[in-house]
């Protein structure tokens, strides 16, 4: 799907329109232009690996932190200040839009999202969609998000903010399972056993996530990333039939705004082209596939993002440096390349290592 020009449909005060981020290294790479330096940021860069994050979050539950604008902004800004990365990623959680829609969900430490009820039958899904319509994510409900984005963007200046949302399959899998699952058996059973109910659930999740993304963009985010944490559990046929339409629907919520749309999933090497075709301008690649092979599977048509192995952040520096240089070299065959990890920053990562990696990436010449 061709990209719209930067700033299409955005307010005149948006960073892509007023010039703050329009020619930043990140946006240039996302737009397949030549950046003035090689851009890099890290998934989960705002998080438990930073002592300042742990200090900021002390005594505050995860969802409360996400919905407290000054705190969410501060946490988003921390890794940008420390590491000199080329983007901030909005501090949030994939279940935040569900919470804002009124769904009973909490995040249990050491477990993850836990729902008051699982949604495994047609009646349960009907009740969810009826009692918590996507339209309930209106301006008032999304006010904590838009305020947090505005506060963050005001501090970031010329550094872009990337908006964040979980993809419909991942949201639906959580809703059906009621909590984290290794195999998503209940979700896949509903997908195959009652495709109409599954379609209704994922369409609802798509609109919730889409409204969440749109609010972030209109408040100042210069790009968005849609995370499909669990799509790698699906075959290509199942993805195309049962997931791709909803992912397309999510990204369509920001299609008129002209911001780069990044789509990322884990274990999705066989799905890369399909993930591109739902409306992504950039495809994130995890560390289970070589980046140049990913570019080949994408026919060299879109920029890529990735894919340093997070495990190597704990390796001796010569090993990590060689790996980073190899990732950069393999990414050079793409129309554009934003360096990132193949998944999130592990919480035990030494922050100084991340800073050193950023410095290395910025120093590598073509």
Q: Which residues are catalytic?
A: 44, 48, 57, 93, 174
Residues 6+ apart with CB under 8 A from 298: 272, 273, 276, 283, 304, 334
Q: Is 114 in a helix, a strand, or coil? A: strand
Question: Rounded distance, CA 205 to CA 197, Å?
Answer: 12
Are 102 and 173 in contact by the 8 Å Cβ rule? The answer is no
Query: How far is residue 239 CA from its own chain's centroid?
Result: 19
The answer, yes or no, to whether the previous bond of 122 is cis (omega within 30 of 0) is no
The secondary structure of 10-54, three-state, reads: CCCCCHHHHCCCCCCHHHHHHCCCCCCCCCECCCCCCCCCCHHHH
Residues 6+ apart with CB under 8 A from 89: 41, 43, 45, 46, 76, 161, 162, 164, 225
For residue 289, the 8-state DSSP code is S
Question: Rounded distance, CA 278 to CA 241, Å?
Answer: 12
Question: Rounded distance, CA 184 to CA 182, Å?
Answer: 6
What is the phi-psi region of residue 204: left when phi exceeds 0, alpha when psi lies from -120 to 50, beta otherwise? alpha
Residues 6+ apart with CB under 8 A from 201: 119, 125, 128, 129, 172, 175, 176, 190
Token pair of 14 as six digits: 């948006």
Token pair of 76 as six digits: 């988003």
> Other C-beta atoms within 10 Å of 112: how many?
15
Question: Rounded distance, CA 223 to CA 22, Å?
Answer: 11
Token pair of 68 as six digits: 């407290």
Token pair of 183 as six digits: 């195999």
């Amino acid at each position: 799907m061709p990209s719209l020009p930067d700033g299409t449909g955005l307010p005149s005060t948006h960073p892509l329109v007023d010039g703050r981020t329009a020619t930043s290294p990140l946006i240039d790479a996302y737009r397949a232009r030549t950046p003035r330096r090689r851009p890099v940021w890290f998934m989960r860069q705002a998080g438990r690996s930073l002592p300042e994050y742990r200090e900021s979050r002390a005594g505050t539950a995860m969802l409360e932190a996400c919905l407290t604008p000054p705190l969410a902004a501060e946490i988003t800004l921390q890794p940008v200040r420390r590491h000199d990365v080329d983007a901030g990623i909005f501090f949030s959680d994939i279940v935040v839009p569900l919470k804002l829609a009124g769904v009973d969900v909490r995040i249990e430490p050491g477990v993850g999202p836990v729902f008051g009820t699982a949604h495994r039958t047609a009646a349960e899904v009907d009740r969810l969609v009826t009692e918590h319509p996507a339209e309930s994510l209106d301006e008032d409900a999304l006010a904590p998000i838009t305020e947090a984005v505005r506060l963050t963007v005001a501090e970031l200046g010329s550094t872009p903010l990337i908006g964040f949302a979980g993809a419909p399959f991942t949201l639906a899998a959580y809703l059906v399972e009621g909590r984290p699952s290794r195999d998503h058996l209940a979700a896949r059973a509903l997908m195959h056993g009652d495709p109409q109910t599954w379609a209704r659930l994922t369409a609802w999740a798509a609109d919730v996530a889409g409204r969440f993304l749109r609010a972030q963009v209109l408040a100042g985010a210069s790009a968005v990333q849609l995370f499909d944490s669990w799509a790698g559990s699906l075959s290509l046929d199942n993805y195309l039939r049962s997931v791709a339409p909803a992912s397309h629907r999510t990204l369509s919520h920001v299609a008129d705004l002209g911001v780069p749309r990044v789509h990322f999933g884990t274990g999705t090497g066989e799905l890369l082209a399909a993930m591109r075709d739902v409306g992504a301008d950039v495809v994130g690649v995890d560390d289970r596939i070589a980046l140049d092979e990913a570019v080949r599977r994408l026919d060299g048509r879109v920029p890529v993002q990735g894919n340093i192995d997070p495990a190597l952040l704990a390796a001796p520096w010569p090993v990590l440096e060689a790996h980073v240089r190899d990732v950069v070299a393999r990414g050079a065959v793409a129309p554009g390349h934003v360096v990132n990890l193949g998944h999130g920053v592990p919480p035990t990562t030494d922050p100084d290592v991340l800073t050193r990696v950023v410095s290395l990436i910025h120093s590598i010449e073509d």
